[in-house]
Structure 1
Amino acid sequence: MTARHFEKRRIAQTDIEVTTLGLGGASLAGIFSAVPGEQARATVSHALEQGLNYVDTAPQYGLGRSEHLMGDVVRSAHPRPIISSKVGRLLKPVDPAVQDKGNWVDPLPFDQVYDYSYDGIMRSHADSLQRLGLNQVDILYVHDIGVATHGAEANKPLWNQLASGGYKALRELRDSGVVKAIGLGVNEWEVCMDALALGDWDVFLLAGRYTLLEQTALAPFMTTCIERKASVVVGGPFNSGILVGGDKFNYAKAPDDIVQRVRAIEAVCKSFNVPLPAAALQFPLTHPAVCNVLPGPRSPQELDGILDWWDTKIPDALWSTLADEGLLAPGTPIPGSTA
């Protein structure tokens, strides 16, 4: 099988170059619906065979399941892809009969404990290497810290853990070369701004906040990333499925105003004979801070559909029409604009 050619973009000022399309590992671990292990591994293998060189996983995904599945494939891959995992959750064994499985179908028998401290991050990193069966991950993200996940009051002591020791651990891991890049993996841009006040970061994996449907992260977050020479990986480019024909937005049923906005965007796409998911997938890369888009297919067939959308040619006029009709935030950089 001949690999495709993908543009590569450098992460911040590191020596990491990632293909502009990556593979997210949450869906593969069985969120909302089951994904057989062989199917998950086949999806990762297919992504690498097609030429993608960046895969992302986390301890939370299937409560260890995603890391095991990813590691099975990545260990034997040549060349080895860029891989990221996350810190902030430690996994402890639990009786499956009383396990809080959340939205995971058939997770491994663990519960998660939030820990953003120095020791917690060091242990989380070591535990991930064991689950992956690897001697190194390239990128470590602080996972799901912030008000959106924890609530305002519960987040305060967790943020203090990161500020008083966790960030130091990440800097030590990066500065010693154990990992190549550090960042946050979150669903809210505001906490990324808080993190930038702590110090320097290489890359932020931001899900859902800079998409064809929503550009709330545009300023001050994305503009600050340009100034601070930090890169952005865009997760959730389909906003939980609403941009690929689903009814969910931000992991819940989409409200009417969101549905109406999607219909308006889709009407513009249809006028250019462009599938809405193709525009959604390619839109984030029009911003100079963005180095990668990270969808999460569940099967090789779903990945092939994504690759078809990726190959769709999109005229510059589609973006400018969306902007003219007020369907993109003012100042959104698009091809041919001076924003």
Structure 2
Amino acid sequence: MTLNFGRLGFGAAAIGNLYRAIPDSDARSVVAAAWDAGLRYFDTAPHYGFGLSEKRLGAALADLDPRGEAILSTKIGRRLDPAPDVDLWQQRQGFVSPEPYESVFDYSYDAVMRSYEASRQRLQRDRIDILYVHDIGRFAHGDAHDARMRELMEGGFRALTELRAAGVVGAIGLGVNEIAVCEDVLAQANIDLILLAGRYTLLEQAPLDSLLPLCMQKGVRIVLGGPYNSGILAQGVRHGGAVHYDYGPAPAEIVARVGRMEHICADFGVALGAAALQFPLAHPAVATVIPGIGSVRHLQSALDLMGQPIPPAFWQVLKDEALIDARAPVPAA
């Protein structure tokens, strides 16, 4: 199927109360602002606030988008188990959510079918446009990866392909943070999309070696999540203070590279965040970029950064200084 994502999409983890609670009214306001700004692709997951992100997104779009024009993606692979004794005011699995559940990995056939139906109800949709497999791979599962892959291949993918064949899911794919598992799955399954978080950015271009060419060959499109590599490409390093990269403290080598990028940005009058958002879109396999958006201020910043002009000479300096791969396509002026 052909999906018109637009250059900028909406990552909805933050409206699931990622790291901190936000009021329902604030979540609704940012979804409404995104809709009014022309965004039409929204990505969520049951794991995001243990159903809270899906509920909030579904409720907002039920009013904003009664004809169902938005492209909605959600995920399978983490079932929501009741947790009646949890402290709802404390952060758990990264979220501060009033939903009394915990998410547990499960890629079995039955779990995928139940997850799809529960997501469809929370999102208030008759069908789901895209269903991703959430966090399969050694990064998430370590020594349990092989068993999880068998569970997915023998059960979960059978459910996904049945849902796609029935037309109740438009497209299926992976939502992951690593490259190797994408190539493993592409060798075994017929998928449409990969939501790849943080692995094709200003700081990382390893997918140029084999994953992106393979996606081009197979007609698999990339949705690029995590364009700021956990924040370092949004805030930079020149201000001092703690900076994060790939879900942890940034190592010295990364801090030094970002510092050099910031110096070049200053020379050209380019915001580092603008370069981070626009760079991945130059590759023909990349369909859209979806930063996490948790407030109207964050949304406006992303819109401004996406629209900022960047001269071709800027990209050439990054290549000349080996700060980005010489093979990487770069945005046209």
TM-score bracket for the superposition, by shorter chain length: over 0.9
Query: Does structure 1 residue 132 correspond to structure 2 residue 123?
Result: yes
**Structure 1 counterpart of 2:202:** 212
Query: Does structure 1 residue 84 correspond to structure 2 residue 80?
Result: no
Cα distance in 2 for partners of 1:258, 1:23 equals 27
- Residue 11 of structure 2 is aligned with which of 24, 47, 50? 24
**Structure 1 counterpart of 2:139:** 148
Cα distance in 1 for partners of 2:272, 2:183 equals 31
**Structure 2 counterpart of 1:101:** 92
Cα distance in 2 for partners of 1:235, 1:35 equals 22
**Structure 2 counterpart of 1:195:** 185
* Contiguous gaps of at least 5 residues in structure 2: 237-242
Q: Where do 1:187-266 residues align within 5 Å?
A: 187-245=177-235, 247-266=243-262
- How far off is 1:190 after superposition? 1.0
| Local SS of the residue matching 1:217 | helix
Q: Where do 1:1-339 residues align within 5 Å?
A: 14-78=1-65, 79=67, 80-97=69-86, 101-151=92-142, 153-245=143-235, 247-335=243-331
Normalising to structure 1: TM-score of the pair? 0.92
Question: 2:279 touches 2:331 (CA, 8 Å); kept in 1?
Answer: no
Q: Deviations over 1:210-244 (max 9, x none)?
A: 01111122221111101111100000111111011
- How far off is 1:335 after superposition? 4.4
- How far off is 1:73 after superposition? 1.1
Q: Deviations over 1:94-127 (max 9, x none)?
A: 1243688121123511011211111111111011
| Local SS of the residue matching 2:200 | coil
Question: 2:58 touches 2:123 (CA, 8 Å); kept in 1?
Answer: yes
Identity %: 46
- How far off is 1:15 after superposition? 2.5
| Local SS of the residue matching 1:180 | strand
| Local SS of the residue matching 2:64 | coil
* Contiguous gaps of at least 5 residues in structure 1: 1-13
| Local SS of the residue matching 1:20 | coil
Normalising to structure 2: TM-score of the pair? 0.93
The one-letter code matched in structure 1 to 2:101 is F
Q: Deviations over 1:185-228 (max 9, x none)?
A: 00001111111011221110000000111112222111110111
Aligned residues: 322
Cα distance in 2 for partners of 1:166, 1:219 equals 29
The one-letter code matched in structure 1 to 2:32 is S
Question: 2:197 touches 2:226 (CA, 8 Å); kept in 1?
Answer: yes
Cα distance in 1 for partners of 2:2, 2:249 equals 41
Cα distance in 1 for partners of 2:209, 2:24 equals 40
Question: 1:46 touches 1:300 (CA, 8 Å); kept in 2?
Answer: yes
Cα distance in 1 for partners of 2:78, 2:203 equals 30
Question: 2:44 touches 2:75 (CA, 8 Å); kept in 1?
Answer: yes
C-alpha change, 1:331 and 1:107, in structure 2 (3 Å) is farther
| Local SS of the residue matching 2:224 | strand
Cα distance in 2 for partners of 1:35, 1:217 equals 35
**Structure 2 counterpart of 1:3:** none
Question: 1:64 touches 1:107 (CA, 8 Å); kept in 2?
Answer: no
- How far off is 1:38 after superposition? 1.1
Question: 1:28 touches 1:296 (CA, 8 Å); kept in 2?
Answer: no
C-alpha change, 1:97 and 1:115, in structure 2 (3 Å) is closer
Q: CA RMSD in A?
A: 1.5
Cα distance in 2 for partners of 1:96, 1:301 equals 35
Greater mean alpha carbon deviation, residues 49-58 or residues 116-125: 116-125
| Local SS of the residue matching 1:198 | coil
